[in-house]
Every structure is written in structure tokens, then in C-alpha cells.
Structure 1
Amino acid sequence: MLSASAANAQYLTSSVQLSKHNMVTAKAGNVKLHNVVDPSQVNVAKKSLAPQKLNANQKTVGVAGSGTMAGGIGLPSAGNKVKGVYNAMDASDLAKFKGAKIVGARYLIYASLGSSANVELYTIEQVNGKSTPTLYTSKAASSQKVSKQDQTTGEFDQQWNEVTFDKALDVNDVTNGLVLGYTYTQKSTQSGGKYTDECYPIAAGSGTSGVLAYGDLGQGTGWYQVSNEFVICIQLIVEKEGGFPDDLSIAQVATNPMLKPDEKLPFEFYVNNSGSKACTNASFDVLLDNKAVAELTLPKDGSISDEYVKLGATLDLSEYNLENGAHVLGVKVKKVNGEDPSGDTSDDVAAAQFRVYTETTPRQYNLVEQFTSTSCVYCPYGYEALRALAKSRKDVAWVAVHGDLDPNNPDPYTNSNAEPLIGYSTSGYPSANFNRFNLGGDQLATNIATEDYDGFATQMGNLLDQEDEIAPSVVNLQMETNLTVGDNPNLKDATLNITVKGKGVKGAGKILEGATLGLYVTENGVKSKQYSPNGWIGTYNHENVLRVIGTQAPWGDVITWNGDNFEMTYEVTIPKKQYNYNENKNTLNAVAFVSLPFVVTVDGKNYYNADLNNVWVNQCQFLELPKGQATAIKGVETSENATVVARYAADGSEISAPVKGINILKLSDGTTRKVVVK
């Protein structure tokens, strides 16, 4: 819906739902806010992309996400109607491997594919004016080593299986893209009303290029797009006589989201080499708003190979007279072995946004978006963890976003308008966004399945404080509401008229240019069944259930600023039977927030924002809705313009930047705050 087909082919849509099983987000209670504080030396990244054990003249290539397993998926409701699953690859994915041959493939599996499984490679050909997959070669998937999950860490021991094709394919001959995958036997075995592990044989990674299925999934036999939040873990093996020359690729630039114009800007980036040997001589241009301002050279003892390494430095912003607003820091390959870069140069540059500010306003509430499902076995743990967090502090605006996990037990609280947010944020339940900050992974949400509820509340509370410190609020929100509730919720809709006013500090309109306003209506006291480790709970209290997304676009409406302020008004219909309003029991709430957009519109088409580091929430307001009129002006009582004026370590020594451990912050209003930096 929000991402184009990787090979620009036309695929059918299916009512058959792809099911996920034991999907990994991040280990609960072990999350880290990405805060760059010091220059970095050359280090091997903790998670390399698809570590390889191949011949010296071979490489692997696959769609983004195909090298790291996140869990098992399947189509158990389709049974034998599905014949195979595949990834679609653009020709551009092979740009670095011109002159090479595709000689085989490697793949991960979560369970057996069946004795008749085959790995298949299709080329995309034009047939009657349509881009259509055409089988090029097929090889029996005789190796079926299963990748097992560590029950303590949740991580997978990736066991790659390989096949060698009987017929190689020249990369130069790939003009329209490829489809790579395998046929398999889809099982539909159930135990206790739920599908068993063998129904989820497909090893999946997180990726937006999606999964294709071939079979009869509702519109006759053909190709269907069945997911845009996963990819299958399968990759091509390419081979080139004499090996591959050095060709550097910059994967990501990271920096702090907001800084003052006289501060030092730390940054880091990841780079790898598609060459057969390690590159030991390279330099990079550092770009500020597309102008080269510095040069970074690989240390003498450093090297860059197919595993990503991390480089970093700092820039003194006081030298550049930057105005309030968004700016771009870029890194570009300058020299490789003393020569200008050659080969595929399309990925020789990467960039990150940061925002310059001079004034702040206190954060009113922190937005926590919980992703849960009534058929999720560990979701009660997530609920209890968030209850502990909400109990520990009064500035949490908690929104429970429900999704379907088991087709046989659909969740009654799903909201179709929330599907883009779920697809963008997470691949597993229970999980949650915390002000939509990227916590260091390849998705926003982090796993919240923990039984250490108090420890979780402490850690996430500290995390929220850190988020406020590195991206302080620059706009204050006020909500004015008028709620009209039907006498009988089963027969009459409720109507919420709401005006959201934003009052920004100096430069807020520039700092948050392009930001969106989000608006949720939630309900407490909703009771229904919930699956748990002990089976079904007949009556479970579901809190803060998302009922309505009030903005015109489900991902939020772009704010039109009037200088540094804005005002937006909505009439929101809360459908009958979707609320059971009772002032003593069930309660409706309004949550308004300003965030950088996770969906961007280009030429009238909507796309997911690929930069996970720039979708964070800058401000949030919460109001428990009474009947009739109400106004929410502030959240937690605090000084209106308090800012950090000094910072001290636990021993009392003054520090200029956050350090690990206890940090004591002195605010401009004379108060102090103690935070823990992980």
C-alpha cells in the first residue's frame, strides 16, 4: 500500500493473511537510545549485514532485511493453495556486481520446507505489456538446516543452506529485476486452537520490499503480494573471475537530532566494501547542507571489508552560523586507494538531518504506542509493564494499538487506519514506540515482554528523560474539546469537536517544518478475552484502546504554521458500538501530538520515511474527555521555559555532555533533575 513492488511487476492482492510466529523486535528491558556523544574509532559493527563464508571470488546479495532472521512466517490459512514464497529484487540491487554471474543461492528456514521444495530464480520479462516473472532455473532445496531461537536472548542461530544452480545467469543480462524464493509444503496443523510451529517454515527478516506468494489465494492461480513488512531470508550467490574490486558503500549516518548553534555536532556512519579484499586507504568528505566542510581519513591501522565498520568525528557548529531549523549532515566517499571512487557510486553518499534550536518548552506528555493483540500469548506481560510505567510517572500518554495475530481468533479492537503505523513500527507483539525514537534497531518499536515490571518502568522512565534531553520540545499544545455522546452507544455515534492549538518558541515553525499533527481517541475499561501463557483469560481489562484516528490522513496531517504557532480543528465521529461511554467506568481520552512524519508524500504518492531517526515526537498532550466542553492546557506542572544550564556527574564534577551513569541536571528555573544515562 505504501511501498512499490521491488521489480515494478503487477501482483494480485489476497484476503489470505500472512501469519507471523516468534518475531523478534528487541530484547525487552535491554534497549538503548541512539545518542552520539563522542567521536568513534574504526570498529566492526555488532550486527554485520549477512556475514559470509564463501569462496574468495564470491559474494551474496539480497533485498534489505534478508540477511538477519527475525522469526518465522507462514500462510497456514491457505494450506496447499500456496505453492511458494519469494522476494522481488530490482536490477539496481545488483549494480555493484556487473560482470559477475549468479551461480546459486542461500536461505534460512524456521521449519522444514518439505521433501519436494525447490529454490527458484525468475527473471522479470515483458509479456503482453506486463512485467511478469519467468522461471530461469530451479534447484532442489535438499539442505534444510533449521535456524533455532535462543529462548533466553530471543536471537536466532542462523544456519544458512546453500544451492548451486545448474545454469548461471550473467548479472549484465538482468535488466528488469529478479524474483528469488522457494516452493514449499504449507501445513495447517493446529494444537489447542492455534497453529503449530511447523506451520511457519519461512524464515523472515524485517523489510518493506515485501513477500510474494504464488498460488491460488482468492483470485485464481498467480502472484500475490502478501506482506510489506517482512522479507524472506534468501540471497543470491554471485561469482566473478579474479574477484571484485574495491567499491565502498555508506549505509547510514547518525547524529543527535537537535543541537544549539554553538554546540559540537558528533556523528558516525557505517561503511562496507564489496571488494574481495579489505580496503586500507580511503577518505571521506563531510558535507554540511551539501557543502564540503571537512575531510575524514581512514586510520592507518583501519580497514574496510564486507562487514560494516563504524567511523565518526565531531563538527563545531559555532563555525557555521546555522539558523534555527532543519539541516543536513552528509558523508561522501572521496578517495579509494588514492583514486576517485569507481564502480557503483550511487551509494557513496549518505546523510542525516539534525535541527538547530535556541529555546525550548517543557514536554507535556510522552507518547507511548503499544502494539498488542488479544491472541498474543505474551501481550499480558506488555500490558503489565506499561501499567508499571504509567504508575511510576504521570506524563505518559499510552495508546494501545491492536492488530490481528491469529486469523482464527481475530482481534475485535483492530483499526484499519492504524495498519500503516503497525507496518512501519513493528514486526512482533508485544512491542511499543516511545515517542517514536529509534532505539538502535531496524524498526521503531521495542519488545516489552518482560516480567520485571518495576525494572522496566525505571529503565523506560530514564529513557523518556533522555529523549527529552536530546530532542527537547519547542511547541506547547492546548486542546479544546466538546464531546456529544449518544444516549445508547449501540445505536448512536458520538461526536468530538476538537481544536488543537500549538504555541511554539522562537523558530519552532522552521525547526518543525513538515511536521504532522496526530490525533487519537482511546477508551479505557474495555473488557474481553485475552490469550496468555496459561491459556485464554475470559475477561481481561484492555486499557487505552485506540478507537479512532481523528486526522484526515491516518499517519497525521502536515501542520500549516502561522509563524511559530498553529491551530487545527476537527470533527471526529466515534462510531456506535465502538464505545461504551460511562463516566464512572469506561472513559474516552484524546491524545494530540506533533511528530516528524513517518509517511511522506512525493508527487501525490505516499511512501514510508526510510529515515527511522527522524520520525520522533516533539510534543504530546492528553485529555480525559468528559461530556460537554473541556480544555487541556498543560501536562505535568513545571516551569514553562526551564532549560538545562549545567550538567554534573555523580561525583559532582561538571561535564559538557551526557556520560554513562547518573547525570545531575541543573535547570534554568533553579530546580535539578537526576537522570540515568545508559
Structure 2
Amino acid sequence: MLRKYYIQIITLIALFSYTVNVKAQEHILMPTAGQRVYVPITAKSVKGKMKVSNIGRTTIQNIDYTLSLNGRELESKHYVFPQALGHNDDAVVEVDVPPYTELGEDELVFTITKVNGGRNGATISYANLPRITVTKVPKRRIAVEEYTAMWCRYCPTGIALMENLSHTFGDDFVGIAVHVDDPLTCWDYYSKAKGNRFPTVDMNRSHKLGYVLGVDEFKAEQEAGADMDLEVSAVWDESKNNITVTPVVTFRVNRDEAPYGFAYVLTEDGMTDSRWVQNNAYSGSHGDRGVTKEFDEIIDSPGEIHNLKNNFVAIAAEGVNVPVTGHVEAPIKADTPLNHSYVFKDINSKKVIQKKENLRVCVLLINTQTRHVENAAKCVISEPKATGISSVSDGTRSEVVVGRYTLDGRRITTPQRGINIVRYSDGRVSKEVVTR
């Protein structure tokens, strides 16, 4: 009798162990919300991104998934991970997303139907993938505001970060360095700047960038996309004392609401003076060497840096605290350019300016509900009538330059010697011969 009892106990233990083992071997892959994807209506498909997480105990090599809309399956595919997913590993699945039959926004449903050829044990095996069908995918540039000061010994990290982003992303980087309580103080930014620690590097007013490297964060913000294109041009008046700024915003989707405002910022590059001293806590900090070449230059500099070139310096601004509204009104119609003008007045009174040829104009399009920057643009300032294009304010033409390119299609921000391809806000494209 005792022997029979022991056999029953052993059997129960074996069954329990088997059950636990089966559960431990179950494939559990959970998708999370997909990243918004903009799809041109003329395209066959574009790559959308779905993040998935392996919360099971088994290694996952492949999945089968479906993509559907309103319960109708659009496609079914087998996907092999470039690198197998272990327990608690995440991955991004690139999904072929077709356009809808008309412009607008909807949500596809991404469902994992099989994992390693078997059942997916996840309680929730699906997630939404927002899709925006457009005539043209908008270009998103990123605004980065650096709050800094010469007296701040830790601020060289922000300086190195701004330089690195500028070198890496070129015109897609709209940098603004806001100085506080030093010779380059921007009083138009002062009340907003005083609420920050130093240094603070704020990307699109939605993410803080840390240390001296923000390339991955910058790329992710670009990939998130925007609902609109934003271009800007600027021109001096004849006396070179006023600057007429003309932003052109073109939404690629219809919108019933228009919670948008603008900020206008005048910046200068290459500002330097032998009397200025940038304090530097990272002089000789060799343990940080190799992060970026820009930060290496800070490490190799003394504790007090003289003759440092200050770039992206905010000189004047409007709308940085309370965005200027009234230029984008509801309802918004897709693919309709909306332009207006803003004038920076009495530039000659800004005694801090060193070289007018180094001035730049930045425009930020701000969502007044979220306070985040939706898109940004920057440009140089043209000489009066230098390109044969009149500003909106002179009453002779309403169209403005919204893009300039070389013959091989490379975008440029200033006229370049040779043949330039120029695109205007009214849709015209022309060739322009630049001789100087």
C-alpha cells in the first residue's frame, strides 16, 4: 500500500514537472503599438515599423503575421529575425505598408499568428499601426535648443553635442544656442531660459538630450515624421536693417483643427572674442575620450577656453514663450501652401551681432496644445533682390523659394555657383544660373 502511494506521488510530480516544462517552452511574442507611417498614395508600399517583445522562455527565430484593415486581411507574411530573440529581447519588425485608396489617416492591425511555426502564447497578439496616406511624405527637420552659458563649466557637453549633430545631420538640424547671463545673452529667450538647468539640450521641446551624443535620439525623432512640410526664406531690405521672413507650411493631410503657432529666431554662427572665457570642467577628462571628435576637442582644451567659436547663437526671437498664432486656420486642406511674413526690425540696434553674413533665420512650427515642435526650418538671408525673387512684403510676387538643389539633386541652403534648380511655393520649378 505504501509502495502504491509512493508511485502515485512520483507520478503527480512527473505530471506537474511536465506541465511546468510545457509552459516554460511556450512561445510568447507580444507586439506593441506601431510607429506612424506616411505612405505616398502612388507608392506600392513603404516600410512601417512594429516593435515586438519576447516575454516567453524560448528563443524566437521567425513569425507569421497578418496586416488587416477593418477586419479585412490585406496581407499575410512570414518574417525571419536577422538575430534570434532571447527572453526579454525586443526587436523591430519592418512591415510592408500599402497606401489607402484616398488621402487620410487610418489604423491597420498587425497580428502575430505564429511563432517559430507554432502557436503564439501571448494574451494579446495584435497591435495598431497608424497609417497616413499622403501625396508626398513630409520632410521633418529637428529643432534643438541648447541652454548654455560661458560661466557654466559643464556646458561644454552641450556645445560638443550641438556641433556633432550639426556635422552629422546638416540642414536637418535646426540648432539654437540660448546664452544666459553672459556676453551673448538673448533677452528675448531669457524668461524661458531661466527655467532650465545648465546645460539643457531640448529636442523639439519634447525630449531632453543628455551627455554629448544624441544621434540615435535625433534619428528616431526624424523617423516619427510630421504632417506637414515647412520651408522658409528670408531677405534683407535695401538698408540691411530689417529682415523679411517668409515661412511656407504645406500640410499633407486634411485637418479639422489648427492648434499651431510659430516662433521666429535669428541666430549667428562663428561668434568669438578674446575677452570671452568658456569654463570647462572636462579639460583632461581622458576617460571620456572617443565618444565624439567634438567632445575630444573639449577634452583637449584648457579649463578656461579663450577664442572659442560660438555657433547657433540666439540673437533675437519672437514666439518662443507664446507662439504666434493666426497664420494656420482650420479647416486645413492638404497640399495647399500657407505662407505669411514676419519682419525682424531694426537689426542695426543689436550690438551683439558681429557679422551679418553669418546670421541665420530659424522658424519653429509649434503645436499649441502639446507645446512640442512639429517641424522646423532654417535659411540664410538673401541680399535685396539678389536672386531676382521678391519678398511677399514688396507686393510684386506672392511666391517664395521653398527649395534649392544642385543638378544632381543635392539640397543646398544658399545659391551655389553654377546651375541651381529652384522650387517656389506656387509649385513652379526653374533653373537659375549663379555666377558668384
Q: 1:521 offset after TM fit, Å?
A: 1.6
- 2:333 counterpart of 1:565: no
The within-5 A match list for 1:3-152 is none
- Structure 1 residue aligned with 2:312: 544
The Cα of 1:537 is off from its aligned counterpart by 1.5
Tell me, in whole angstroms, the C-alpha distance in 2 between the residues paired with 1:274 and 1:292.
26
Asked if 1:266 corresponds to 2:47, the answer is yes
**Helix, strand or coil: the match of 2:206?**
helix
Relative to 1, partners in 2 of residues 1:593 and 1:639: Cα closer, same or farther, differing over 3 Å?
A: farther
Residues 530-541 of structure 1 aligned to structure 2 (within 5 Å): 530=278, 531=280, 532-533=298-299, 534-541=302-309
SS at match of 1:542: coil
Distance 1:474 1:548, change over 3 A: same
Work out the CA distance in 1 between the residues paired with 2:429 and 2:43: 22
The answer to whether 1:424 aligns with 2:206 is: yes
Q: Which residue of 2 aligns with 1:510?
A: 254
What's the counterpart of residue 43 of structure 1? none
Tell me the residue number matched to 1:634. 401
**Structure 2: distance between partners of 1:508 and 1:565:** 10
Q: Return the match for 2:110 from 308, 331, 355.
A: 331
Q: Is the 8 A contact 1:281 1:298 kept in 2?
A: yes
CA distance in 2, matches of 1:277, 1:543: 52
Q: Aligned partner of 1:634: which letter? A: V
Q: Residue 254 of structure 2 aligns to a residue in which SS?
A: helix
SS, match of residue 329 in structure 2? coil
2:13 corresponds to: none
Counterparts in 2 of 1:399 and 1:600: CA distance versus 1, 3 Å: same
Please give the alpha-carbon distance, in whole angstroms, between the structure 1 residues aligned to 2:182 and 2:260: 34
**How big is the shift at 1:545?**
1.3
Return the letter of the residue paired with 2:401.
Answer: K
Give the whole-Å Cα distance in 2 for the aligned partners of 1:432 and 1:438: 6
CA distance in 2, matches of 1:338, 1:537: 63
Percent identity between matched residues is 10
Q: Is the 8 A contact 1:244 1:275 kept in 2?
A: yes
2:135 to 354, 357, 363: 357
AA partner of residue 521 (structure 1) = V
Is the CA contact (8 Å cut-off) linking 2:52 and 2:90 kept in structure 1?
yes
TM-score, structure 2 normalization: 0.52
Task: Identify the residue that residue 277 of structure 2 maps to in structure 1.
Answer: 529
Contact conserved, 2:232 with 2:402, CA < 8 A, in 1? no
Give the structure 1 partner of residue 144 of structure 2.
369
Cα separation, 2, equivalents of 1:409 and 1:497: 26
How far does residue 636 in structure 1 lie from its aligned partner after superposition? Answer: 5.9
CA deviations on 1:35-83 (whole Å, 9 max, x unpaired) are xxxxxxxxxxxxxxxxxxxxxxxxxxxxxxxxxxxxxxxxxxxxxxxxx
Residue identity matched to 2:134: V
The SS at the match of 1:312 is: strand
TM-aligned CA deviation for residue 439 of structure 1:
1.7
Answering whether residue 379 of structure 2 is matched by residue 622 of structure 1, we say: yes
Contact kept in structure 2, 1:519 and 1:590, CA below 8 Å: no
CA shift, 1:431, in A, is: 5.3
CA displacement, residues 489-539 of structure 1 (integer Å, 9 cap, x when unaligned): xxxxxxx896645274xx745399869554332332365422343211145
User: Take 2:60 and 2:168, find their aligned partners in 1: how far apart are those partners?
Assistant: 48
Q: Residues 588, 416 of structure 1: CA spacing in aligned structure 2 closer, same or farther, 3 A cutoff? A: farther
Please list every run of 5 or more consecutive structure 1 residues that lacks an aligned counterpart in the other structure.
Answer: 1-241, 446-466, 487-495, 609-614, 645-667, 672-678
Q: CA deviation at 1:308?
A: 1.6
Q: Give the Cα–Cα distance (whole angstroms) in 2 for the partners of residues 669 and 268 of structure 1.
A: 34
SS of residue matched to 2:219: coil
For residues 310 and 430 of structure 2, the distance between their equivalents in structure 1, rounded to whole angstroms, comes to: 41
2: CA distance between counterparts of 1:478 and 1:290? 47
Q: Distance in 1 between matches of 2:352 and 2:43?
A: 52
* Number of aligned residues: 336
C-alpha displacement of 1:307: 1.1
Counterparts in 2 of 1:279 and 1:383: CA distance versus 1, 3 Å: closer
Give the alignment partner of residue 580 of structure 1, picking from 347, 351, 375: 351
In the TM superposition, 1:234-249 aligns within 5 A as 248-249=29-30
CA distance in 2, matches of 1:481, 1:670: 23
Assess if the C-alpha contact under 8 Å between 2:248 and 2:402 holds in 1.
no
Structure 2: 5+ residue runs without aligned partners? 1-22, 281-297, 385-389, 393-399, 412-427, 432-436
Letter in structure 1 aligned against 2:144: E
**Superposition RMSD in Å:** 6.1
SS for the counterpart of 1:541 is coil
Matched residue, 2:176: 400
Q: CA separation of 1:291/1:518 partners in 2, compared to 1, >3 Å: closer, same or farther?
A: farther
Task: Name the one with the larger strand percent.
Answer: 1
What's the CA shift string for 1:323-358, capped at 9, x where partnerless? 2x4454442445779779764x4x841424444225
CA deviations over 1:350-397 (Å, ceiling 9, x no partner): 42444422599xx8x96663647443345555566678789xx8x677
State the alpha-carbon separation in 2 of the partners of residues 280 and 398 from structure 1.
41
CA deviation after TM superposition for structure 1 residue 591, in Å: 1.7
Determine the structure 1 residue equivalent to 2:94: 312
- Greater helix share, 1 or 2? 2
Contact 1:372-1:430 at 8 Å conserved across structures: no
Counterpart residue type for residue 129 of structure 2: A
